[in-house]
């Protein structure tokens, strides 16, 4: 507690994010983002870009606002009572919080995978088919079958479940469920996938599979991933953002963050002095 207040003072009120928060080919660009839960501010003046087909890792101590920030990117914060977001957030130049924007297509473009696997209590097939159905992406059953198959294949789950598509999604193992959730998210062909600690409930083997999957997906999708595992961040991401007490301290090439960070707080965190 003591240290937390000390470090807050070291950041200061008008701190500058160090490193390279902005890029040229930005898919998502955020400027001066502030997020409040009621009176309490959780995110302070964060600005950064996430490049097209980039994997951006977000790390930081518990409670620093990683999930809060991630949820801003497809307006999942709207579902939280008392949560208020200020600032400019753009998806390919479109204002995410603009009055004209409809969250339904936004969330189809920016999908999210949660920390705990949360398949619907329906069959594996219906889990994947739900998104395409509600968005009216297909008109024929065969097209839907195809989407289900390719999504499961991309999520590396097809071979394990192809014979039991009618079995309940909740009957799969934790790792399989999480891959099912990823397949469900990519079934609507989003441009961006947000992942909030997608491997925290999984064993090392399942985690390795998901990490492999992220590497494959990054060829076609833009991915923002929150993680507590620095090894994971180092393995999967191109750039890494370090958050601290609601402030964005540093954004840099992943390799640089883990070998030679620009900010002392980042260094303190990655060397395990707190977190």
Partner 1 sequence: MNSNKPSTIDLVNRNLQKRYRAEKRFQIFGIASIGFGLLCLLVLFTDIVSKGAGAFTSHYIQLTVNLDPDDLDITDITDESQLALADYQGVVRKALRDKFPDVKKRGDRRKLYGLVSNSAGFRLQEILKNDPEKLGEQLTLWVLADDDIDTYAKSKNDAEPFTGRLNDKQIGWVNTLLDSGEMQSRFNRVLFTSGDSREPEMAGIRGALLGSLYTLLVTLVLSFPIGVAAAVYLEEYAPKNKFTDFIEVNINNLAAVPSIIYGLLGLAIFINFFGMPRSIPLVGGLVLTLMTLPTIIISSRAAIKSVPPSIRQAALGLGASKMQVILHHVLPLAMPGMLTGAIIGMAQALGETAPLLMIGMVAFIVDIPQSIMDPATVLPVQIYLWSDSPERAFTERTSGAIIVLLAFLILMNTIAVLLRRRLERRW
Ligand X SMILES: Nc1ncnc2c1ncn2[C@@H]1O[C@H](COP(=O)(O)OP(=O)(O)OP(=O)(O)O)[C@@H](O)[C@H]1O
* Dihedral sign (CA 36, 20, 50, 275): negative
Residues 174-233 that bind partner 1 (CB under 8 A): 181, 184-185, 188
Closest CA to 149 of 169, 178, 124: 124
Q: Which stretch binds partner 1 (CB under 8 A): 33-41, 99-107, 230-238, 253-261?
A: 99-107
The site partner of 224 among Mg ion, partner 1, ligand X, none (C-beta below 5 to 8 Å per kind) is none
- Examine residue 227 and tell whether it contacts ligand X (CB under 6 A): no
Q: Are 90 and 100 in contact (CB under 8 A)?
A: no
> Measured from the CB atom, is 23 or 48 closer to Mg ion?
48
Q: Are 66 and 59 in contact (CB under 8 A)?
A: yes
User: What residue spans of the chain are helical by DSSP H?
Assistant: 2-11, 66-72, 103-109, 124-134, 141-154, 158-161, 174-186, 204-217, 230-236, 254-259, 264-270
Lookup: tokens for 4: 């937390």
The site partner of 108 among partner 1, ligand X, Mg ion, none (C-beta below 5 to 8 Å per kind) is partner 1
Bridging pattern class, strands 192-196 and 26-37: unpaired
- Examine residue 39 and tell whether it contacts partner 1 (CB under 8 A): no
Residues 32-71 that bind ligand X (CB under 6 A): 37, 42, 60, 62-68
> Measured from the CB atom, is 122 or 256 closer to partner 1?
122
How many residues at the interface with ligand X, by CB under 6 A? Answer: 11
The site partner of 42 among ligand X, partner 1, Mg ion, none (C-beta below 5 to 8 Å per kind) is ligand X
- Examine residue 135 and tell whether it contacts partner 1 (CB under 8 A): yes
- Examine residue 114 and tell whether it contacts ligand X (CB under 6 A): no
> Measured from the CB atom, is 185 or 266 closer to partner 1?
185
Bridging pattern class, strands 239-244 and 247-253: antiparallel
- Examine residue 67 and tell whether it contacts Mg ion (CB under 5 A): yes
Helix 141-154 with 204-217: angle, nearest 10 deg: 120
Q: Are 249 and 242 in contact (CB under 8 A)?
A: yes
The Cα diameter of the chain in Å comes to 61
Q: Minimum distance from CB of 109 to partner 1 (Å)?
A: 9
* x/- letters, 134..163, toward Mg ion (CB under 5 A): ------------------------------
Binding site for ligand X (CB under 6 A): 37, 42, 60, 62-68, 80
Binding site for Mg ion (CB under 5 A): 67
């Amino acid at each position: 507690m003591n240290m937390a207040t000390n470090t807050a003072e070291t950041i200061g009120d008008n701190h500058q994010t160090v490193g390279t928060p902005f890029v040229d080919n930005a898919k998502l660009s955020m400027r001066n983002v502030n997020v409040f839960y009621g009176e309490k501010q959780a995110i302070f003046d964060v600005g950064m870009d996430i490049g097209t087909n980039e994997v951006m890792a977000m790390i930081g101590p518990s409670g620093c606002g990683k999930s809060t920030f991630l949820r801003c990117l497809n307006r999942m914060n709207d579902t939280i009572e008392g949560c208020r977001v200020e600032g400019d957030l753009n998806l390919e130049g479109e204002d995410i919080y603009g009055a004209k924007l409809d969250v339904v297509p936004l969330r189809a473009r920016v999908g999210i995978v949660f920390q705990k696997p949360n398949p619907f209590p329906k069959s594996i097939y219906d889990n994947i088919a739900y998104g395409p159905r509600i968005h009216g992406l297909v008109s024929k059953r065969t097209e839907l079958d195809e989407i289900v198959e390719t999504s499961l294949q991309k999520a590396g789950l097809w071979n394990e479940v192809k014979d039991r598509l009618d079995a309940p999604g909740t009957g799969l193992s934790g790792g399989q469920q999480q891959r099912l959730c990823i397949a469900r998210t990519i079934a609507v062909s989003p441009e961006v996938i947000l992942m909030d600690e997608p491997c925290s409930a999984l064993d090392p083997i399942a985690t390795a599979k998901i990490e492999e999957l992220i590497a494959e997906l990054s060829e076609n999708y833009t991915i923002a991933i929150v993680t507590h595992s620095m090894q994971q961040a180092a393995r999967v991401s191109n750039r890494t953002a370090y958050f601290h007490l609601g402030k964005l301290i540093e954004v840099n090439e992943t390799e640089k963050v883990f070998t030679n960070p620009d900010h002392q707080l980042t260094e303190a965190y990655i060397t395990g002095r707190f977190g």
